[in-house]
């Protein structure tokens, strides 16, 4: 059965907005389904309403955790969603699902849907990166908590590794307490780890390429499908200085993103200014004020259309998160990922096996190492050719068709019981 034979469906897309990546990549997926003729309703934090409506979606405001609070909790090793926040989101989800009665709800890090979609009896497709299906507590990267940062990397690494076997599983179980208390209210079984909350869906789709992240382990029980690499792009215009970039000089694009360690941007820029290249920086206004004034050398903006900047760039430096990495690799650009949070550090080893990708860490970032890595990529034409060739591999996926196939699969058991839809 081809996609053209599918009758129009009502699809609800729900994005947790703790980082821009969740909103932007879900907007990308929703846009594809709208173009295929389906009714799209998009729900996320109110500040992104203009973005959704600009794409012609119906919009619904939902409660989302503030990014600053999320980052603060993660940095302290705390659970990112507290019990009351989970409960409030579940109640809100149920009201919305019962009101709209979508054929399917697609959620990106809207973890409350793992509870609410079952209660509302709406098929739920979760969007998560495939590398989380390979997560093993004993291999968890060393987190940058205040305590470990205080004692320093040399002491922190052996201390964490020596206690990891007992400490990490205990911590992950503890962080699932909020979810489990709310799940208990709805007679749903408890989770063993907070990581399990990522995959509590009827079906999972991975915005990844299997050439980078392998399929889940054979004992993984939830139905899944690779969509292909999903990057997304900020809906913004090119900056006024765009025509001032010289086509004869290399361009380095630096953007640490909403979940990267933005305060490192000036330090990174200081290193890059020593190189014979133009530097394009995407960062906040407060960080821009800390950057040197170098007309013709340094260009910055608070919002940039990343795909067009990557197309122009000779090298991309980002936070190592999957959306940023895919955005660069889809354009065939060598990339350096400077990771900060757990998601980025779990993702990067899967990317870093590629010869045109390097993984650095924000913790004790070494300026000499950064300069060396950057120079190696800028000066090596073979690396650029390999990155360009690999981009062709990434472009073979039809993400919209893959998502529709997943939608049909998640609906098929329901359709076998009722004939309310005709696929």
Burial class (CB in 10 A: 0-12, 13-18, 19+), 139: exposed
pLDDT in tens, 173-204: 999 999 999 999 999 999 999 999 999 999 99
| 64-101 pLDDT, tens digit each | 988 888 878 877 767 889 999 999 999 999 999 999 99
Q: Where are the domains of the chain?
A: 3-228+397-417, 242-394
Is there a contact between 41 and 57 (Cβ–Cβ < 8 Å)?
yes
CB 82 within 8 A of CB 60: no
What does CATH list as the number for 242-394?
Answer: 3.40.50.2000
Query: For 212, which DSSP code?
Result: T
For residue 380, pLDDT over 80 is answered with yes
CB 102 within 8 A of CB 11: yes
Give the whole-angstrom CA distance, residue 6 versus residue 24. 26
Q: What is the pLDDT of residue 157?
A: 59
Distance CA 320, CA 359 (A): 8
pLDDT at 142: 63
Q: Which of 392, 414, 232 is nearest to 323 (CA)?
A: 232
Distance set, CA 124 to CA 178, 183, 199, 317, 407 (Å)? 21, 16, 11, 35, 9
| The pLDDT value given to residue 62 | 98
Tokens of 250: 């290399």
Task: Quote the mean pLDDT of the chain.
Answer: 91
Residue 358 backbone dihedrals phi, psi, to 5 degrees: -125, 145
- Name the token pair of 416: 């076998």
Confidence band (pLDDT; 50, 70, 90) for 114?
A: very high
End-to-end CA distance of the chain, in Å?
7
Per-residue pLDDT of 224-247, as tens digits, reads 999 999 987 888 889 999 999 999
Q: Tell me, what's the pLDDT at 416?
A: 40
Confidence category of residue 338, pLDDT binned at 50, 70, 90:
very high
Residue ranges in 113-203 assigned as alpha helix (H): 113-120, 146-151, 153-175, 177-185
Which DSSP symbol is given to 199?
A: G
Describe the chain by its helix, strand, coil percentages, rounded to 5: 50, 15, 35
CATH top-level class for 3-228+397-417? alpha beta
Residue 408 confidence (pLDDT) above 80? yes
pLDDT per residue as tens digits for the range 256-278: 987 778 899 999 999 999 999 99
- Enumerate residues 6+ apart whose C-beta is below 8 A from 369: 360
Give the model's confidence band at 417: pLDDT under 50 very low, under 70 low, under 90 confident, else very high. very low
The reported pLDDT for the residue numbered 2 is 47
Pair of tokens at residue 247: 């086509």
Alpha-carbon gap, residue 37 to 81, rounded angstroms? 35
Fold identical between 3-228+397-417 and 242-394? yes
Contact 330, 361 (CB under 8 A): no
Q: Which residue bears the tokens 């990308």?
A: 28
Neighbouring residues of 207: CB distance < 8 A, sequence distance ≥ 6: 25, 29, 127, 129, 227, 228, 229, 230, 322, 323, 326, 399
Full-model pTM: 0.92
Residue of 264, 258, 320, 313 whose CA lies nearest to 290: 264
Say what angle helices 113-120 and 83-100 make with each other, to 10 degrees: 40
Summarised one tens digit per residue, pLDDT across range 359-375 is 999 887 999 999 999 99
């Amino acid at each position: 059965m081809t996609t053209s034979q599918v009758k129009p469906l009502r699809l609800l897309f729900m994005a947790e907005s703790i980082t821009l990546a969740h909103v932007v990549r879900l907007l990308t997926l929703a846009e594809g389904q709208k173009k295929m003729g389906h009714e799209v309703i998009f729900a996320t934090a109110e500040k992104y309403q203009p973005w959704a409506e600009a794409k012609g979606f119906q919009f619904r405001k939902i409660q989302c955790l503030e990014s600053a609070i999320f980052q603060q909790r993660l940095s302290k090793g705390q659970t990112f969603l507290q019990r009351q926040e989970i409960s409030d989101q579940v109640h809100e989800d149920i009201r919305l699902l019962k009101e709209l009665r979508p054929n399917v709800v697609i959620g990106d890090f809207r973890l409350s849907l793992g509870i609410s979609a079952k209660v509302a009896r709406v098929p739920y497709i979760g969007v998560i990166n495939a590398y989380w299906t390979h997560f093993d507590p004993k291999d968890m990267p060393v987190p940058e908590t205040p305590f470990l940062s205080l004692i320093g990397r040399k002491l922190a690494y052996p201390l964490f590794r020596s206690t990891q076997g007992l400490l990490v599983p205990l911590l992950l179980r503890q962080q699932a307490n909020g979810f489990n208390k709310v799940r208990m209210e709805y007679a749903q079984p408890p989770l063993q780890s907070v990581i399990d909350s990522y995959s509590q869906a009827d079906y999972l789709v991975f915005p990844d390429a299997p050439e980078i992240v392998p399929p889940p382990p054979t004992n993984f029980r939830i139905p899944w499908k690779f969509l292909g690499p999903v990057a997304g792009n900020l809906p913004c215009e090119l900056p006024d200085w765009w025509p001032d970039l010289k086509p004869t000089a290399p361009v380095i694009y630096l953007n640490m993103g909403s979940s990267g360690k933005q305060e490192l941007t000036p330090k990174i820029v200081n290193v890059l200014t020593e190189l014979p290249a133009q530097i394009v920086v995407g960062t906040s206004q407060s960080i821009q004020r800390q950057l040197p004034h170098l007309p013709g050398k340094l260009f910055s903006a608070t919002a940039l259309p990343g795909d067009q900047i990557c197309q122009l760039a000779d090298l991309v430096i980002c936070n190592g998160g999957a959306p940023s990495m895919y955005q660069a690799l889809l354009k065939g650009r060598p990339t350096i990922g400077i990771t900060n949070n757990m998601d980025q550090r779990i993702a990067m080893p899967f990317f870093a096996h590629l010869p045109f990708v390097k993984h650095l860490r924000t913790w004790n970032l070494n300026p000499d190492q950064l300069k060396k890595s950057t120079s190696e990529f800028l000066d090596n034409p073979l690396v650029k050719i390999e990155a360009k060739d690999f981009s062709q591999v990434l472009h073979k996926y039809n993400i919209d068709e893959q998502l529709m196939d997943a939608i049909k699969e998640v609906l098929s058991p329901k359709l076998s019981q009722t004939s309310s839809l005709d696929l």
